[in-house]
Amino acid sequence: MTRDVEQRRQAETSRNTLEVKRRALELGFDAVGIATLEPSAYADSLDRWLTAGYAGDMAYLDRQAERRKFPARILPDARVAIVTLTNYCHGSPHLAAVPRGSAKVAQYAWSTDYHIVLGRRLERLAGEVREIAPGATTRCYVDAGPVPERELAQRAGLGWVGKNTMLIRPEIGSFTFIGVVLTDASLDTDLPFEADRCGSCRACLEACPTDAFVAPHVLDARRCISYLTIERRGEFTDDERALVGEWLFGCDVCQDVCPWNVKFARPTADTEVDARSELAEPELAAFLDSDAAAFDRRFGDTPFERPGAAGMRRNAAAVLANLQASR
């Protein structure tokens, strides 16, 4: 290739990169960066985490491990990951007491299921990529695939992975969804976010109500309320029921106490993630006697669909038992 042709190609790549980022922000993403698909720098930590059994019943993490370690294998010929952040913060009310008859729900679940909302938005972004780089292949991921999303976000320059294992962006904190478009389009990659801004802070590790952190950056999911109320199948053991406390679905404690959220997280203006009252302030009684059909009508397009009617009944019964025990 002559120098001239190479320079023209590089100029086109730079133009396309800027245009993809501009359109991503126009579509409503709060931040966007582009990551390489080189092998994971944390493959050994992932292996150690899985071998220790910290994934509990999330067997899919074992099945996806090879692709998580080698993201280039996820989509043949993919060159880069376009990584997006979407702020879903609604404030930090969990530090206050729970109203009687109600229970705590993690903020990410206060709105219509983000797999639906972000899935649509990422598909629109993928369409823009194909328009900007005709002939490009794209594939969108949000949460559900074999993609090491937090590591890719760090590599795309969007933030660092805190001791609570969350991706934290200095300007907005960690109440963000990560969405990814893999593509074979030629785009310039960003510099990774190298700084670790946790410093000597240990607030998240100390505040976790179940002592789920084995060490900084290492979470034993089996003790995490988020895992227990969302991913755990079947009935709780007595110990698990006690761990759940007042949380009906998910948990925000290790984010609520993080100084980067306390100082910088601001309520989102994104109307597609508006809070719905039946999710943000749920009536516990509604879950105890709801059958599967009624549950689906009311919660079919929400994050509560993952544990389903039976899982939410189990969670509500656990919270009620814990509230009664504490009075």
Question: Does residue 111 belong to the site contacting ligand B12 (CB under 6 A)?
Answer: no
- Binding pattern to ligand B12, positions 248-287, x when CB under 6 A? --xxx-x---------------------------------
Q: Contact letters (x/-) for ligand B12, 3-42, by CB under 6 A?
A: -------------------------------------x-x
Among 114, 177, 236, 260, binds ligand SF4 (CB under 6 A): 260
Does residue 143 carry a catalytic annotation? yes
Name the catalytic one among 143, 188, 270, 296: 143
- 249: its two tokens: 């679905």
Under rule CB under 6 A, residue 55 binds ligand SF4:
no
Where are the extended beta strands (E) located within 162-227?
A: 167-168, 176-183, 213-215, 218-219
| 112 contacts ligand B12 (rule: CB under 6 A) | no
Q: How far apart are CA 94 and CA 101, in angstroms?
A: 15
Q: Determine contact, residues 249/226, Cβ cutoff 8 Å.
A: no
- For residue 178, list its beta bridge partners: 85
Considering only the stretches 34-42, 83-91, 223-231, 295-303, report the one whose residues sit in contact with ligand SF4 under the rule CB under 6 A: 223-231
Determine contact, residues 222/166, Cβ cutoff 8 Å.
Answer: no
Q: Is 258 in the site for ligand SF4 (CB under 6 A)?
A: yes
Residues 265 and 268: their CA atoms lie apart, in Å, by 9
String marking each residue 174-213 x if it binds ligand SF4 according to CB under 6 A: ------------------------x--xxxx---x-x-x-
**Do 256 and 95 meet the contact criterion of CB atoms below 8 Å apart?**
yes
Instruction: Note whether 233 and 213 are within 8 A (CB).
Output: no
